[in-house]
């Protein structure tokens, strides 16, 4: 997440749900939980497209951990190698053209539409051909979360123009690229019939209960079912039938409303000026005063079929409208599809969605509209370790006409307000969710919340037990009856992140292993290793509580021992976000986002250049977000 552009620390949630004041003994709960988890049999993997491969792999962590780093390089353990594969501006390999990256950022908007977008985030490997378990050929779908316009244009944000807005819009969205392992090296296949860019200008369909609702209609689209583009594509998910889900996070920052801002826009953080993208100056649909319904068309989960380059992306409104971080999949025993989803802002909520229909394993096309029908829930964490999924359906939990919810479309377009009304628990910025394939426990990173306990803000509760929570924590739960569709769960805190060497006892973490803070990216490999990626914001990096902690990093938790150790450190000023593997676990793909980011003026290319020249080096021009490939020298399973 961008620090200055997306303003993750602003608090849009001012509803009056009472905070718990009891702090439970998280360690005691944790021991009980581990005993319970140990008694569970090994269960089937949560979802089966890219990851449902059984491996002779016990999830034990076997690498030698690395130290912290402030160097402008990617470091991995001895015996591993990390290589950039797909950098901002690299050609995707479209037959329509393969423009080379210009190191002065001189590429046009049209060229940018045929190149990697900026600021890679969520990523998923899809084997080729579809239905295979190939670990030598496949597709990568990669989110491009946002743009730093200082870097994106040769002269930064000077002489702001329609062409610059168009290039910024072109650098957003998703890349689909074909990759292949040739002679021990992964390469982008160019040209490839699968190569595709989805951008902020790509035609999309709106589907599900909110499609066509009056609040979804605009001057350009009186139907409320057709629109252009997806933005701020943060983390992601995928379906068992092999489609990609890209999740719209801080979409509010692209809008500006110089008029009187209605409460439904205020609740999502739309403000007078936006977050500095300046699209509204040349693209009037981002003027939220002139086009008050256009913001309602963002904040959704968008389905893309990477195997079909002509597929029209679909906004799936049944999954709710929030600042979506990601959508971690799970599968019930009777093949209903479940997604766990965070709304990443201070004091926002954790959601779950359960499909009405079962996944059709035999007929892929039969799943085309499966994501349009289901039930959305929001989490309430009780102080006694129990939890409830509160249903967000019109007519229940106070979601009545008297409270402003006349239809299910109202509930979904105003998901945050519906969750307020239902009485969900306000969390410390829910980021990624992930399901442990060994015991079906679900984990969520709560990256940080410096406002917890501040004057006029909610105080601590059992699930968010620290005031001024600068380091964040990871919470987890287990559904009742081991059923992902359950309405109740048991929870506890897996780890309080932080630096145990800090003198302030309230800030001590309980990490067993290496120090980290601001957990964000979270993923289980099929053997059950948990991978944690950090996003210490640029304004916090290297100072204050983070003075002793270097560049952002990726760590691995051995779930057999609970020990968390450092696997990777990124270059200066970056965030590590997004991780996926080939089915054999022998190649890992990781995204390095915004190397060289500075916390002050980001419209000026000189500032990031002074910090980082990764990955191309000092002679190469501008720092570039990139997907990297990680392999073991002996060809073994990553992490083993």
Site for Ca ion, rule CB under 5 A: 1, 431, 520, 535, 575
Q: Where are the alpha helices (DSSP H) in 220-267?
A: 263-266
Q: Which of 56, 179, 75 is nearest to 630 (CA)?
A: 75
497 and 509 Cβ atoms separated by less than 8 Å: yes
Minimum CB separation of residue 225 from ligand FEO in Å reads: 27
List, as one string, the DSSP characters of 87-120: ETT-B--BTTB-PPPPTTS---HHHHTTB--SSE
* Out of 431, 514, 545, 597, the residue judged to bind ligand FEO by CB under 6 A: 431
- Choose among ligand FEO, Ca ion, none what residue 303 binds, the Cβ cut-off being 5 to 8 Å by kind: none
Q: State which residue, 292 or 472, has the beta carbon closest to Ca ion.
A: 472
* Minimum distance from residue 520 beta carbon to ligand FEO (Å): 6
| SS3 of residue 587 by DSSP | strand
Phi-psi region of 615 (alpha: psi -120 to 50; beta: other; left: phi over 0): alpha
Residue 100 CB, shortest distance to Ca ion, in Å, is: 26
Show contacts with ligand FEO in window 324-343 (CB under 6 A): 325
Q: Which is nearer to ligand FEO, 445 or 598 (by Cβ)?
A: 445
Q: CA–CA separation, 638 vs 568, rounded Å?
A: 12
Q: Which is nearer to Ca ion, 45 or 590 (CB)?
A: 590
Q: How far is the CB of 236 from ligand FEO (least distance, A)?
A: 11
CA–CA gap between residue 422 and residue 349 (Å, rounded): 11
Q: Which is nearer to Ca ion, 148 or 535 (CB)?
A: 535
For residues 618-637, which are near ligand FEO according to CB under 6 A? none
Q: Does 1 bind ligand FEO (CB under 6 A)?
A: yes
Q: Parallel, antiparallel, or unpaired: how do β-strands 196-198 and 185-188 relate?
A: unpaired
Among residues 283 and 520, whose Cβ is nearest to ligand FEO? 520
Q: Residues 205-234: x/- map of binding to ligand FEO (CB under 6 A)?
A: -----------------------------x
| Beta carbon of residue 23, minimum distance to ligand FEO (angstroms, whole number) | 26
d(CA 246, CA 236): 5
Separation of alpha carbons 508 and 444, rounded Å: 20
Shortest distance, position 588 Cβ to Ca ion, whole Å: 18
**Cα 239 from Cα 220, distance rounded (Å):** 31
427 near ligand FEO, rule: CB under 6 A:
no
Integer Cα distance of 475 and 488 in angstroms = 16
- To Ca ion, the closest distance from the beta carbon of 347 in angstroms equals 15
Q: Nearest distance from residue 599's CB to ligand FEO, in Å? A: 16
The dihedral built from the CA positions of residue 495, 498, 499 and 503, taken in this order, carries a sign that is negative
**Shortest separation between residue 100's beta carbon and ligand FEO, angstroms:** 29
Binding ligand FEO by CB under 6 A: which of 124, 344, 525, 597? Answer: 344
Nearer to ligand FEO, 264 or 431 (CB): 431
SS3 638: coil
- Which of 90/520 has CB closer to Ca ion? 520
Q: Which long-range contacts (CB under 8 A, 24 or more apart) does 499-508 make?
A: 499/471, 499/545, 499/548, 499/549, 501/548, 502/545, 506/466, 506/467, 506/468, 507/466, 507/468, 507/470, 507/471, 507/545
What whole-number distance in Å separates Cα of residue 383 and Cα of residue 468?
20
Of 166 and 602, nearer to ligand FEO (C-beta) is: 602
Q: Which does 249 bind (CB under 5 to 8 A by kind): Ca ion, ligand FEO, none?
A: ligand FEO
Site string for ligand FEO, 530-569 (x = CB under 6 A): ----------------------------------------
Expressed in percent and rounded to 5, the helix, strand and coil fractions of the chain are 15, 30, 55
Is the preceding peptide bond at 594 cis, omega within 30 degrees of 0? no
Contact flag: residue 249 with ligand FEO (CB under 6 A): yes
- In this structure, the chain runs to a length of 640
- For position 148 contacting ligand FEO by CB under 6 A, the verdict is no
CB of 1 to Ca ion, least distance (A): 4
Q: Which is nearer to Ca ion, 1 or 427 (CB)?
A: 1
Which residue's CB is nearer to ligand FEO, number 275 or number 486?
275
CB atoms within 10 A of CB 503: 6
* Number of Cβ atoms within 10 Å of the Cβ of 472: 27
CA distance 328 to 352: 9
Phi, psi of 296 (to 5 degrees): -65, -15
What is the nearest approach in angstroms of ligand FEO to the Cβ of residue 625? 13
Q: Which does 157 bind (CB under 5 to 8 A by kind): Ca ion, ligand FEO, none?
A: none
Angle at 205 between CA 12 and CA 137, to 5 degrees: 100
The listed partner (ligand FEO, Ca ion, none) that binds 597, CB under 5 to 8 Å by sort, is none
128 binds, among Ca ion, ligand FEO, none (CB under 5 to 8 A by kind): none
Instruction: Tell me which of 145, 294, 499, 525 binds ligand FEO, using CB under 6 A.
Output: 145
Q: How far is the CB of 240 from Ca ion (least distance, A)?
A: 24
Q: Which is nearer to Ca ion, 1 or 399 (CB)?
A: 1
Interaction site with ligand FEO (CB under 6 A): 1, 145, 234, 249, 325, 344, 431, 520
């Amino acid at each position: 997440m961008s620090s200055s552009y997306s303003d993750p620390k602003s608090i849009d949630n001012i509803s009056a749900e009472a905070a718990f004041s009891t702090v439970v003994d998280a360690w005691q709960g944790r021991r009980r939980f581990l005993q319970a988890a140990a008694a569970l049999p090994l269960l089937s993997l949560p979802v089966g497209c890219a990851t449902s491969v059984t491996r002779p792999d016990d999830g034990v962590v076997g690498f030698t951990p690395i130290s912290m780093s402030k160097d402008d390089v990617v470091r991995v353990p001895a015996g591993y190698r990390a290589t950039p594969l797909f950098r901002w501006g690299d050609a995707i390999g479209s037959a329509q053209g393969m423009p080379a990256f210009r190191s002065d950022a001189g590429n046009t908007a049209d060229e940018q539409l045929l190149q990697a977008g900026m600021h890679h985030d969520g990523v998923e490997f899809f084997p080729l051909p579809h239905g295979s378990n190939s670990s030598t050929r496949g597709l990568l779908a990669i989110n491009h979360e946002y743009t730093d316009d200082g870097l994106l244009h040769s002269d930064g944000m000077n002489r702001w123009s329609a062409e610059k807005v168009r290039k910024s819009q072109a650098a957003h969205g998703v890349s689909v690229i074909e990759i292949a392992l040739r002679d021990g090296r992964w390469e982008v296949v160019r040209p490839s019939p699968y190569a595709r860019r989805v951008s902020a200008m790509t035609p999309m369909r709106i589907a599900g209960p909110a499609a066509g609702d009056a609040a979804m209609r605009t001057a350009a689209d009186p139907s409320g079912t057709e629109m252009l583009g997806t933005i701020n594509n943060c983390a992601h998910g995928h379906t068992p039938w092999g489609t990609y889900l890209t999740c719209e996070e801080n979409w509010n920052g692209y809008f500006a409303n110089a008029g009187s801002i209605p409460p439904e826009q205020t609740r999502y953080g739309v403000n007078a000026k936006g977050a500095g993208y300046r699209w509204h100056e040349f693209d009037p649909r981002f003027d939220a005063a002139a086009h008050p319904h256009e913001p309602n068309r963002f904040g959704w989960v968008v389905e893309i079929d990477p195997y079909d380059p002509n597929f029209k992306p679909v906004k799936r409104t049944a999954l709710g409208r929030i600042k979506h971080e990601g959508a971690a999949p799970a599968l019930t025993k009777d093949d209903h599809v479940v997604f766990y989803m965070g709304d990443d802002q201070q004091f926002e909520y954790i959601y779950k969605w359960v499909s009405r229909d079962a996944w059709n394993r035999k007929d892929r096309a039969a799943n085309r509209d499966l994501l349009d029908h289901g039930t959305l829930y929001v989490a309430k964490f009780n102080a006694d370790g129990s939890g409830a999924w509160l249903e967000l359906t019109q007519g229940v939990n106070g979601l009545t006409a008297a409270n402003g919810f006349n239809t299910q479309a109202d509930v979904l377009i105003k998901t945050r307000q519906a969750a307020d009304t239902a009485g969900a628990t306000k969390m410390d910025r829910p980021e990624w969710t992930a399901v442990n394939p060994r015991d079906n426990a679900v984990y969520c990173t709560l990256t940080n919340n410096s406002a917890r306990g501040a004057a006029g803000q909610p105080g601590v509760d059992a699930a968010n037990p620290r005031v001024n929570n600068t380091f964040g924590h990871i919470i987890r739960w287990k559904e009742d009856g081991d059923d992902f569709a359950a309405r109740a769960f048991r929870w506890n805190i897996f780890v309080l992140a932080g630096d145990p060497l800090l003198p302030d006892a309230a800030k001590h973490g309980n990490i067993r292993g290496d120090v980290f803070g601001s957990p964000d990216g979270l993923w289980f490999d099929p053997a059950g290793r948990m991978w944690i990626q950090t996003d210490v914001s640029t304004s916090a990096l290297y100072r204050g509580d983070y003075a002793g902690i270097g560049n952002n990093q990726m760590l691995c938790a051995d779930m057999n021992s609970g020990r968390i150790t450092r696997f990777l450190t990124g270059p200066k000023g970056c965030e590590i976000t997004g991780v996926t593997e080939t089915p054999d676990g022998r190649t890992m793909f990781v995204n390095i986002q915004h190397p060289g980011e500075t916390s002050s003026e980001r419209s000026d290319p000189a500032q990031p250049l002074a910090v980082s020249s990764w990955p191309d080096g000092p002679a190469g021009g501008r720092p570039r977000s990139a997907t990297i490939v990680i392999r073991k020298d002996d060809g073994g399973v990553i992490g083993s």
